Every structure is written in structure tokens, then in C-alpha cells.
Structure 1
């Protein structure tokens, strides 16, 4: 960071006074010739240091924006993907892009990444989770589109890099809990309020963020007229906050009870549709047992 002109001037005067051959020019007056020259050169040095600061920022921006094979590079590249367009890579391999930028063709709206290693292959594999749609209303990219996305990544990835792009249907959130309320309103109104609160909770969750039991319970507890939220250890079926995940073949697995926190397979959660693969999974209203709190 550039020093101020005064800092440079004071340092120059201190250095000048160390030299015996210049001691005869010592003068505290700012109007002296020697001090005037020192101040002028301090201004020149200050200007040079400012230029160096600007140059350093430009170099830093260039390094951060270049193709360097980091996970962020692949994540940003996926957000720039344009369905149906051919990506152009420069001959020197230092940049890529499309001839025409068309935001309507960008189908990927959410990306997260993680690295995995197995004993068969010690090289790390970069796993990129992607989804399409708006936050809170995300969905998986179709298998056909996913093939094209992986072909796109293969074209721009660095040699020897192991990269896989996945896009799964949302993990299903199942809040099996007992909710106590004050009895001042109808059951249907409480259910509607809880549905609204849980859907707002889903809207607020960042892509690939952790799903915490405490936050899900607190979301329900904050609903008007709710007095308590309880996980009954003796209830049948078992109570708790559960998540059911899809596999890469599009099939839903068994619901898994969350101990404290869990990270989703798809990167996002949703309510059960109670249809097709989710036919046996209860939605929010079906999962929750309402009980009037009689104190």
C-alpha cells in the first residue's frame, strides 16, 4: 500500500540528516530549497507507489479470472453453460467462451462441489452438483441435458483432471414430530401455517447447505399458536426429522433419520409430492401429529 507524501518526506529527511555531507543544509523551514526539493521528490515517489498499487490489483484480478483448473473455475464454467451452443476454446488454451452470450440458454442456476478419493484410484475426483430453477423451487437437470453438460466439461477441463457432474432430484424432507398448539384455531389453520413456514425454510436454505434438526424444529416452533414441538421416542412410526434421497438412476432410497445435521445428495430439499417414487413418503401435513396442549 502506498505511503502518504508526508510519510515519504519525513523518512527522506531522517535519512538525509544521517549524512554528514548534507548536515550543513539542515533547515526546519518548509520554504528552504533542500526541503522543497525533498517534498517534490516525495510527491514523485508517492505517485510511483500508487501506480504500483494499481498494477498489483490488475495483476491480482487477471490471476483470479484466468483458467487455472480450480474447483471455482469449474463451478463458474457450469453457470456459464449455454444449452445447444458450441463453446470456443482459444488456440493457446487460456480462455473459452461463446460467440454470442445468451442468458436464456443458461439452464444451470446452482452449483456446488466436493472432492472424493477411493482406494482404487488415489487421484481426487471433483464432484459437481448442479440444479436448475429458482431458489426454493429447484429441480434436477434432465439426463439428456446432463450428458451435454458433461461433454461441455470434458472439452474445457484440464488434462488428467477427474470431473463428474451430477444432478439429482431433490431430497425429500419428512418432519415426523408431535406439535402441541393452544387450541385457539382450527387444525387446518395450524397445518396451513406449518406448511407455509417449512416451505419458507426451504426457500432460505443455501444450495448444498447442511440440514439441521434444530433449525427444522425451530421453524415449526415459531408458528403462531404452536406451544411446543416434541419428538416422541415411543411413537410408531418412529419420530424425528428424516430425509430420503434419490440415487443416480432416479430411484428414491429409504428415509434416513438425521442425528444432528445432514448434507443432501442433490444439494437441496423439498416436500414429498406423494406421487410415483414418493408415493409412500408423507408430505408435511401427513408427517406431523397435532395435539392440543392442555398444560
Structure 2
């Protein structure tokens, strides 16, 4: 950041004090002394020069992936984009800081590109290299954006997204290809076996044997209903520590960050009343894949084998149980989706009396 005129003047005065030949310049209290006026003129000239250099450095710096992210988060919806001092800026004259903040609807952004070396084999033919180059969209900048609604990450409204794409098209580097997306969150289904302290967490006694059957992979009556209070704190029935720990972990994953199984298990392990958490199943699918539900339903109907929505969803879910970590296609999971599921088999931790369940 450029120095202020006062800072430059003070540095000149300090240097003057080090020069014995300038001791004759007195009248330090007089602001009209000719030598003090010259210091002010020189300091002003240096300040102007530093501002110009600073601005040129800002404009001419390479547009990195982080630069695109900064520009995305600076998007002000509904305001004119003007060219000013060598760069595009939003005209926010007359708006308060609060109003500007409210108009910055892009709250989350991730920018990436395909690494050339990861998709091209140097031993292949020239034609194949060019084919791989274009097929894998090397040289394309991918921008994922999202906003927030009710404390949850959510996709940007289509009207806003259209305006945002036009904004990016104007400010991007000439010749660069940019793909902007804002998708509904990915679907996530988690199944766990959790051993808990029966003195802390409530489990209906009649439900325990059925939980154990499920843990061993055995079927139970289809119409059997578990007590909805299972898993709640005895001291505070409104709180379910396992479910709360899972949702807190998912909400705190950075946008376009990785879902890491071991991190999730570590988080659950710290929850009140939890003894041993075991993550048995992780299934997910991009929101783009949900469009196949209706298509599969129609296909099944033509074959006289109608499938329920749950069955259709199960058929398109991808099993990620053996993957240590992965990044959701949309950059986040939709925790408000009707398809989001946390299924927990609760068993009291009483190994000192019961045989261990494999």
C-alpha cells in the first residue's frame, strides 16, 4: 500500500536530521518556511508516483485462479459495471455498506482447472494429445458459486446466475474459456452403527434387539417402527448428539472441500455419550443425477414394474463407502433435501456383559 503524504514528509525530515550540512534549515515550527514547502511538494510528488505504481501493479498482475475467486465474491447484483481507473468496478455510489453486503449474493466460490499433465500421455500420437486436450477441457477455468439461505448453502437463483455469468464474461481475460455453475447440493445418505453409553443416551429397550439384527445384516419386520427418541440425551431429550455431530461436520466442510470419512468418525467420537462410532455406508449422487428418477420411473411403468421413489433413488446412488474422501459435484451437500438421510443403529455399550457384535 502506498505511503501517505504525511509519512513521506516525516521520513524526509528524519533524513534531514541526519545531514549535518542541513542544520542551517531551522524554523521547525513554521509551516511556511520555504524548505518545508519544498518538502511538502516533493512528498506529494512521491505519493502520486507510488499511487500510480500501485495501481499499475494491481491491474497488470497475472489473473490467477484466486483472482477469479476474488472477483466472484465481489459481484454486486443489480448494479452497473463501469470501467474506472483501468479496471471494471461496480457503481455503488449512494449505497451503504449494509446494502452493498446484501447485494453481494455470491457467498461461496471455488475456482479450478484441469492439470494438463494429468490427462496427456507424452508417448501418444499428436492427434491423440490434441484429442485429450479438448476432451478434458484443459485450459478452461471452472467456477462454482453458491449463496446462503437460512444458514445453509444453496444454489444461486437462475436470474442472478445469468447476470453473474455476464459479469464474468466481461472481466475475464481475453481468450480464456470460463464455465460457471451453481448446482443444488449433492445427495448424501449415511448409515452408522454407534455404541453409546446407556446412562447418557436413550434407547427404547424393545428396539435394541432389532438394532442388533440390523448390525449383523439380518432382516427385521418391514412394518417395525423404532422409537423416534432413540439417540437423544436422557438429560436433554431435544438433542441427539450423533445426528448433531454429523450435521455440524457437514455444515463446516469448506465449499468445494472434501468429505473425509475419518474426520467424520473423529467428530462423532467426541459427541456426548458416544463410545464407538462405526461408519458402515456412504452413498451419494450429484443433483444432476436426480433428473433420472422420473425417467427411470417411466421406464419401469412401461415394463409393468413400477418402482417407488426410494427404490429409484437407490438405483442411482453411488457407493462411496470404500473411498476415504471425495468432493461433492456441487461443492456441498444439500442438508435440507428430502433425500438427505442419517440412519443410525444404536446399541448400548455393555461389552463387559454382552458378547461383541461383529
TM-score range, shorter chain: 0.5 to 0.7
* Corresponding position: 1:216 with 2:295: no
Q: Say if 2:283 and 2:317, in contact at 8 Å, map to a contact too.
A: no
Does residue 190 of structure 1 match 2:246?
Answer: no
Return the structure number with greater relative CO, CA threshold 8 A, min gap 6: 2
Q: Does residue 268 in structure 1 map to residue 332 in structure 2?
A: yes
Relative to structure 1, the CA distance from residue 206 to residue 56 in structure 2 (aligned partners, 3 Å threshold; closer, same or farther) is farther
Q: Contact 1:89–1:156 at 8 Å: present in 2 too?
A: no
Where does the alignment leave 5 or more consecutive residues of structure 1 unmatched? Answer: 1-38, 42-51, 232-238
Q: For residues 269 and 287 of structure 2, what CA distance do their matches in structure 1 show? A: 29
Q: How far does the alpha carbon of each residue in 1:157-209 deviate from its partner, in whole angstroms, 9 at most, with x for none?
A: 12101111111111233221111112223132625222221222123222111
Structure 2: 5+ residue stretches without partners: 1-17, 21-45, 117-131, 204-228, 233-239, 293-312, 352-358
Work out the CA distance in 2 between the residues paired with 1:174 and 1:62: 51
Q: Distance in 1 between matches of 2:197 and 2:320?
A: 28
Aligned residues: 238
- Give me the TM-score of the superposition, normalised by structure 2: 0.56
Q: Which of 60, 63, 66 does residue 57 from structure 2 map onto?
A: 63
List 4+ stretches of structure 1 deviating above 6 A.
55-58, 248-252
Cross-structure match for 1:180 = 195
* Whole-angstrom CA distance in 1 between matches of 2:263 and 2:64: 33
1:82 aligns with 2:145: no
Mapped contact 2:113–2:142 kept (Cα < 8 A)? yes
Hey, what does 1:19 align to over in structure 2? none
Q: Give the distance between the partners of 2:148 and 2:266, measured in 1 at CA.
A: 27
Give the match for residue 24 of structure 2: none
Q: CA deviation at 1:250?
A: 6.4
Q: Are the structure 2 counterparts of residues 216 and 65 from structure 1 closer, same or farther at C-alpha, using a change threshold of 3 Å?
A: farther
CA distance change for structure 1 residues 56 and 269 in 2, over 3 Å: closer, same or farther? farther
Q: Given the two structures, how large is their TM-score scaled by the length of structure 1?
A: 0.67
